[in-house]
Chain A
Amino acid sequence: MAPRSDNSKRLNELRMKHGRPPAGPNEPKAAKAEPTLREQQPRFRGLESGHRACQGCGEALAARLVMESAGPDVMVANATGCLEVFSTPWPQTAWRVPWIHSLFENASAVASGMEAAMKAKGKNTKVLSFGGDGATYDIGFQSLSGMLERHHNVLYVTYDNEAYMNTGIQRSSSTPHAASTTTSPVGAERMGKRHLKKDLLSIVAAHHIPYAASASVAYPADLQRKVRYAMGVEGPTFLVIHSPCPLGWRHDSALTVEIARRAVECGLFPLVELERGALTNIMPIRDPRPVAEYLKLQGRFAHLFKKNDYRAAEELDHLQALADHNIAIYGLRGEGTDPVDTTGVAQVRRGGPLAGRN
C-alpha cells in the first residue's frame, strides 16, 4: 500500500478542483462566503444546473420540479436512462441529495431496500424512485409491481417521454400509437407504432395503493401539488409525468411546455388521480382542442399530415378517437368553467401563479 500521504494529496487535489478546500477536524473552517444569488433563492435545488440534458428537456424540468417539492429530506434510487446519465457524468453530480444508481431494471428493488434500511435505522427520510418509461412500463415493471405489493413507503416517479430515449429513441410500451421511432419507423407497412400506449396508471392503481396520479410539465403547480400530496402518504405512491423530449419527439426546444399543454388539452394525456384504485380527481379540460394541434408540432407524427396518403387521415382520426375516449371515460369535459380546469389552473397573476400556491 502506498503511503497515506499520497492518497490525501490526490484527495486534496480533487477537493480543490471541486471547490471543497480540505478542512481537517483541527483546521479552522474556511470562512463562509456570502451566499450567492443562486443560493439565496427561496426554493430547494435538488437537481442543480450543469447537468447535460438537451436544450428544453422535459424530463430535466419534471425532475427539477419533483425535487423542489419533495426535498430536501429524501433519497433517490434512479434507474438507468437519460435522467441518470445526464445528471451524473463522472466525477460530477447534479443531485444535492443521496442518490443511488444500480441498474435499468431494478430501481424499485433498490428503493425497497433503501426504505427498509431507513426503517431499521428509525429514520423518516422518504425514498423516491425514478425511472423513464422504458424503465417503468417495460423493463422495471416487475420490480415496481413487487415494491407496490410489499407496500414500501416509496414515491415512484416515472418520467414519461414515450420511448427509450437514452439509447436512441426505441419504441416502448408507452410510445403512443402511430408515433414514429427508430424501431417503429414509418414505411410502406406501418404508420409508426402499431400498438397502443399501455395504460400503466390503471395497472399500478390496481395494486390498490393509496395514491397514483398523472401530471404534466405544462402544469407545474398541479404537478407539485401531487408530489406534496404523495409525500404525505405513508405507503407506496406513484406519479407518471408527461415529459416531452425535443430530440426524440422532434420538436423545437422552445415548445416543450406548449406541446405538453396541448397533450393535456386534447385529451391524449389525461391528468387524473386514483386512490385505492378508484378515480378521485381529474383536471377538467375547459376547451378541448383537436389532437392535430398537438401532433402537428412534432416530427414523430409528421407522417400523419402527409397529403395523398389515405392512411394519414385514418390514423389522425384514430388518435382523435382515442383522445375522445379518454375525455368520455374520465369525464374530462367538466361542467362549465372550473378554477382548476386546464385554463383556470394556468392563470397567472402578478406575484405568482394563482392556483396551487403554498
Chain B
Amino acid sequence: MGEMTRGQYADAGTSLDFKTGNWRSTQRPVHVHAKAPCHTACPAGEDQQAWFALLQEQKVEEAWKSLVSANPMPGVTGRVCPHPCETACNRVHVDGALAIHNVERWLGDEAVRLGWDYPVAAPAKDAKTVAIVGAGPAGISAAYHCVRLGLKAEIFEALSEAGGLLRSAIPPTRLPRGPLDAELGRILDLPGITLNLRQRLGRDVTVESLKAQYAAVLLAPGCEKAKPWSVQGAVPADLHEGLELLRDFMDHGALPDAAKGDVIVHGGGNTAMDICRIMKRAGAKSVTLITASGLPGPDTAPDDLINVVPRELEEALEEGIEVIDHATVSRLIMKGSKVTGVEIIALKKEPGKDGRKRRVEFEGTERVVSVDMVVPCVGEQVDPEGYEGLLDGAYFWPDNAGGRVAERVYALGDARGSRGTVAAAIGDGRLAAEAAAAELRGEDDPSADDRSTIGIDALNTAYYAGASRTLVAKLPVSERTFEAEIEGSISRTEALAEAQRCLSCGNCLACDNCWTMCPDNAVIKTAELAMDGSHYVFDYDYCKGCGLCTHECPTGYIQSVPETN
C-alpha cells in the first residue's frame, strides 16, 4: 500500500469552486431601469411609477413629495389634465389603466388638508434671482423649481390675481376655486418666491430691464390675443370671441342676450368645449359646435382628432351639446351687420399632391341654418407687445428643451406654439428653471433622459390580474350647476388599493421572483439596497445565462443583453 488514493478519503469540496458563469455563451441578465410609459407620456414629467411604489408601501406623504419633485400642483392637474399617462399605462392591456389622475388629485388634496411641507429649502440670502413673467401654471411652476434649485424667483403678473387660465378660463365645475387657491397659495408662500401683481411686461417692465436687473428672465405670458376670425371677410358687428366670453362669464357671471337663442360655436379645443357647456347651462335654446376635426373613434387619425380633454367632450355630449364634426362655417348670413344664419360645409384633411395634408371642402354639402349668435373659438396667440425680436410669428419657437430664446431668456407654457395643456406648462416651468440654473452655473443644457420606455411585451403579465380600476362617481347631468365639481374624489382606501394595481413597469418591485426562480442560485438577495436600487445582485460567477429570470421578471426590470465575454 503506497499513497492513499483520492477515493479513500471522500473529503468533498464545494461546487462553489466551479464557476459555471463561463457557460454563458449568448446572453446575460442585467437590471435595466427603463421609463414607465406613464412617465414618458406625462408632460409635467411626473414619475408615476415612483410615487405609486411609495403608496404601495403606505408612504403617502413620501409619495406626494416624490410627485411634487416634478409637479407642484397635483390638486390642479388631477382635475384638469387630459391624463395621457392613463392612455399610455401598460395596465390597459391587462384590466384597465390605473386611475392615475384620481390618485394624483387625492394626494394633492391630502397635502393641503394635512399641511405637508414642500420638499424645498429657503434659498441662500445671496442666491441669484430669476424674473418670471406671468403667474399661470408655467410661471408658478418655474418659480417653484427655481426655489428647488436654490434660486430666488420674482414673478410679474399683469392681473390682480395669480393663476392664469386656471382662474380666468377653466370652469369651476372642473377646477373648483377652493382647491385651486389652496394649492397655488401654498406654492406662492414658499420662501424665495415674490409675486408682483398688476405688473405688465410691455407697460411696466421690459425684457431688457428685467434682463439687466435679474439673473435670467422666464417668459410665461400664455396666449391672450384672439386669432383674427372672419368668414370671407365678413365679421358680425356684435362679435364675441370665445375666450373673452368665458373670461367675462367667470368675472361677472353674465352672457350677451343673443346667447339665449340658437348658438353656433366655431372651432375645437378646450375653450370651445367649455363655452358650449356654459351657454347651454345658462339656457341657450341650442348649442352646436362646428369643428373641422374628427371625433374620437377607430377611424379618426390622431392628427385629425379634436383637441379637447376626452372626458370633457363626453360630458358635453351628455349635456346635450350637438357636434358637427368635419365641417366649417363657409358663409355668414347677415341682416345688416347682425348674423341671422350660417352656411355649413363638410370638409376633411386630405393629402395633396406633395403628400402634405390640407383641408378640402366638399362642394355640394352646403346647408344653411338660422342662428342667433356665432362664437368663434379658433385659438389664441401671444400678445406680441414687448416681445419684439423674440417671437417667431404668433408664438415662441425655441429650438431646445429648456426654451431658451436668447441668452438668459426662456419662453415657456402656452406661449410656446407647441404646448397647450396645464401639465405641459408645468413641465416647461421645470425644464426652463433647470436650463436657466445650468446656464447661470456656466454649464451646458441639462441632458435629456434618453432611457427607453418599457412596453407591455417586456412585462410578464401572469403575475398580475384581477383588480379592476376604481370607479369614481360623477354628478348626474340633472344636478350639474355652474359651480359644483362634476367628478368626485376618491377615499384613502380606494387610493391605496388603486396604487396596488400599479405594475411597476420597468422598475424592480422586490417581488423575489428572480431570487426564487433562478435554478443556479445566481441571484443574490441583499438586505440593503444594491447599487442599482433593487435588492438583488447577479452573481455572474455562477449565472449560466438561461434567461429564466428575464422571462419571469414581472416588471421588465431584468433584461437579457448579449454576452460580451
Question: Which residues on B sit within 8 Å (CB–CB) of A52?
Answer: 18, 20
The answer to whether B493 has its CB under 8 Å from any CB of chain A is no
Closest-CB distance, B548 to chain A (whole angstroms)? 5
Q: How far is the CA of A36 from the CA of B18 in the complex (A)?
A: 17
Question: Which residues on B sit within 8 Å (CB–CB) of A20?
Answer: 13
The answer to whether B504 has its CB under 8 Å from any CB of chain A is yes
Question: Which residues on A sit within 8 Å (CB–CB) of B504?
Answer: 350
Closest-CB distance, B204 to chain A (whole angstroms)? 53
> Are B551 and A51 in contact, CB atoms less than 8 angstroms apart?
no
Given A10-B3, A45-B521, A261-B462, are A50 and B512 neighbors across the interface (CB < 8 Å)? no
Chain B interface secondary structure, helix, strand, loop or mixed? Answer: loop
> Are A56 and B524 in contact, CB atoms less than 8 angstroms apart?
no
Q: How far is the CA of A24 from the CA of B19 in the complex (A)?
A: 30
Q: Mark A345-356, 1 if CB is under 8 A from B, else 0.
A: 011111111000
Interface centre among B16, B519, B525, B548 (most CB of A within 10 A): B519
Task: Tell me which of B466, B500, B550 contacts A254 (CB under 8 A).
Answer: B550
Given A61-B517, A254-B551, are A41 and B1 neighbors across the interface (CB < 8 Å)? no
Q: How far is the CA of A19 from the CA of B275 in the complex (A)?
A: 81
> Are B465 and A42 in contact, CB atoms less than 8 angstroms apart?
no
Q: How far is the CA of A92 from the CA of B20 in the complex (A)?
A: 13
Interface centre among B504, B510, B548, B552 (most CB of A within 10 A): B548
> Are A41 and B509 in contact, CB atoms less than 8 angstroms apart?
no
Interface size on B, residues (CB 8 A): 58
Given A51-B15, A220-B517, are A254 and B548 neighbors across the interface (CB < 8 Å)? yes
Closest-CB distance, B463 to chain A (whole angstroms)? 5
> Are A57 and B519 in contact, CB atoms less than 8 angstroms apart?
yes
The answer to whether A275 has its CB under 8 Å from any CB of chain B is no
Q: How far is the CA of A60 from the CA of B522 in the complex (A)?
A: 12
Within 8 A of B (CB), among A271-298: 286
Question: Which residues on B sit within 8 Å (CB–CB) of A120?
Answer: none
The answer to whether B6 has its CB under 8 Å from any CB of chain A is yes
> Are B18 and A252 in contact, CB atoms less than 8 angstroms apart?
no
> Are A50 and B546 in contact, CB atoms less than 8 angstroms apart?
no
Q: How far is the CA of A90 from the CA of B547 in the complex (A)?
A: 28
Question: Which residues on B sit within 8 Å (CB–CB) of A257?
Answer: 517, 548, 551-552
The answer to whether B87 has its CB under 8 Å from any CB of chain A is no
Interface 9-residue window, one of B266-274, B309-317, B319-327, B537-545: B537-545
Task: Tell me which of A51, A217, A346 contacts B462 (CB under 8 A).
Answer: A346
Which positions in B face A, CB cutoff 8 Å?
1-4, 6, 9-20, 23, 53, 56-57, 462-466, 500, 504, 509-513, 516-522, 524-527, 537, 539, 541-542, 544-548, 550-552, 554, 560
Enumerate 8 A-B pairs (CB-CB under 8 Å) in ascending A order.
Answer: A14-B6, A91-B13, A217-B517, A255-B551, A343-B465, A348-B511, A350-B57, A353-B516
Which positions in A face B, CB cutoff 8 Å?
1-2, 6-7, 10-11, 14-15, 17-20, 37-38, 40-43, 45, 47-53, 55-58, 60-61, 64-65, 87-94, 217, 220, 246, 252-258, 261, 286, 337, 343-344, 346-353
